[in-house]
Amino acid sequence: DESQAIAKAYDAACTPDFFFFDEKLDLIYRGQMDDSRPGNNKDVTGEDLIIAFENLLLGEPQEEIQRPSMGCNIKWK
Q: Where are the domains of the chain?
A: 5-73
pLDDT of 54? 94
What's the CATH number for 5-73? 3.40.30.10
Q: So what's the pLDDT on residue 38?
A: 86
Burial class (CB within 10 angstroms; exposed 0-12, middle 13-18, buried 19+) of 19: middle
Q: Quick one: pLDDT at residue 24? A: 92
Secondary structure (3-state) at 19: strand
pLDDT of 65 above 80 = no
Task: Name the band, by pLDDT with cuts 50, 70 and 90, for residue 44.
Answer: very high
Q: Which of 43-47, 54-58, 61-65 has the lowest mean pLDDT?
A: 61-65
